[in-house]
Amino acid sequence: MLKITEPFLVFVRLDYAGVSAWSVKRTFLAGQAMFAWIMGLALILLMTTSALAADSLTVAVAASFKRPFGEIARRFEAGHPIKVKATFASTGTLHSQIVNGALYDIYLAADEKRPQVLHEKGLAESPVIYARGRVVLWTKRENLCRAGDWKSTLRDAGVRKVSIASPTISPYGAAAESALRKEDLWNVVKPRFVYAQDAGQAFQYVCTGAAAAGFCALSDAVSGVGREGCHFDVEEAPPVNQAACVLIRSKNREAARRFVEFLQSPASEKIKGEYGYR
């Protein structure tokens, strides 16, 4: 009769004649083989899981770059065995998260300053410019589309609410503020501001009617939804130079570098150009 007392270790009770020592040994060896097979399978599964985890990237992306980023990420995934996941927020919010230990692989900011600060603090590799954006004033109202320029739009008595991304955390909001101050309009328009967390939200406020017009990124204004309205270039605003950097805490820096390189490839440049980036 067989009695199993430990996994894969089989003892044979010699209750009858004819059971040889060889049969006992053969049973024990079979148990050892089974144990080795299961351990090998477990190791393979563990290695596969680790490989899958290594072949993925988490990217902190400025909200203004959301639309082109989606297309670029899909194009990158089509040519590389790497999955790309993104978190979208204002440049300042993402910067704070990274400084406080958030585990991103790449940071795509909407300015040059914050990636450079991370580099100087030893939290990121040397940043590179991946896009140059522009601030526009966007509206869905047909009568405002006939205003002529952004300043005339803001002077219209019917424009009671104007959305703008918070200048302290959004480079697009800061660029809009610079233009308004240059034209002595900041204090005139300030009482009508509806503040957004980022340029994408400023665009959404106009879409939903929470504001009559809003300062946003050109990339939103030329999107499918953006074409339902009109936009005016804010030429007085400085260009928004956007920098990317690979973060030191990334566990897959080689793949992260490949993605940043892809951001500057002809395929990516074409996509960015379609959204108004230079």
pLDDT, tens digit (0-9, with 9 covering 90-100), for 153-174:
999 999 999 999 999 999 999 9
72: confidence class by pLDDT, cuts 50, 70, 90: very high
The answer on pLDDT for 38 being more than 70 is no
pLDDT of residue 173: 97
In this structure, are 151 and 197 located in the same domain? yes
Going through 185-257 in order, the beta strands assigned E by DSSP cover: 193-196, 213-217, 230-233, 240-246
Neighbouring residues of 160: CB distance < 8 A, sequence distance ≥ 6: 192, 212
39 lies in which domain range? Answer: 2-52
Confidence tier at 34 by pLDDT (50, 70, 90):
low
Shared-domain flag, residues 115 and 147: no
- Closest of 72, 69, 52, 81 to residue 251, by C-alpha: 52
Residues 6+ apart with CB under 8 A from 204: 196
- Give the Cα separation of 33 and 41 in Å (integer): 12
One-letter amino acid of 269: E
- Pick the closest to residue 118 from 28, 250, 272, 267 (CA basis): 250
- pLDDT averaged over every residue in the chain: 87
Q: Residue 46: what pLDDT?
A: 43
Q: Do 183 and 248 lie in a common domain?
A: no
Confidence of residue 278 (pLDDT cuts 50, 70, 90): confident
Number of domains in the chain: 3
Higher pLDDT, 243 or 15: 243
pLDDT > 80? residue 10: no
CB 67 within 8 A of CB 220: yes
Q: Give the span between the Cα atoms of 167 and 97, in whole angstroms.
A: 18
What token pair was written down for 128? 């590179």
**Same domain as 145, residue 100:** no
Same domain, residue pair 148 and 227: yes
Supply the CATH number for residue 208's domain. 3.40.190.10
pTM for this predicted structure:
0.78
**Do residue 45 and residue 171 come from a single domain?**
no
144 and 172 assigned to the same domain: yes
Same domain, residue pair 146 and 226 = yes
Beta-carbon-side half-sphere exposure of residue 208 (alpha carbons within 13 Å): 9
Q: Using CA atoms, how far apart are residues 262 and 278, in angstroms rounded to an integer?
A: 16
- Could you tell me if 154 and 215 lie in one domain? yes
Contact 198, 90 (CB under 8 A): yes
Rounded mean pLDDT, 28-33: 51
Same domain, 15 and 60: no
For 214-263, the pLDDT digits (tens) are 999 999 999 999 999 999 999 999 999 999 999 999 999 999 999 999 99
The verdict on 124 and 259 lying in the same domain is yes
The identity of residue 245, as a single letter, is: C
| pLDDT at residue 37, rounded to an integer | 52
Whether 128 and 244 map to the same domain: the answer is yes
* pLDDT confidence band for 15 (50 / 70 / 90): very low
Higher pLDDT, 154 or 28: 154
Question: How high is the pLDDT of residue 239?
Answer: 95
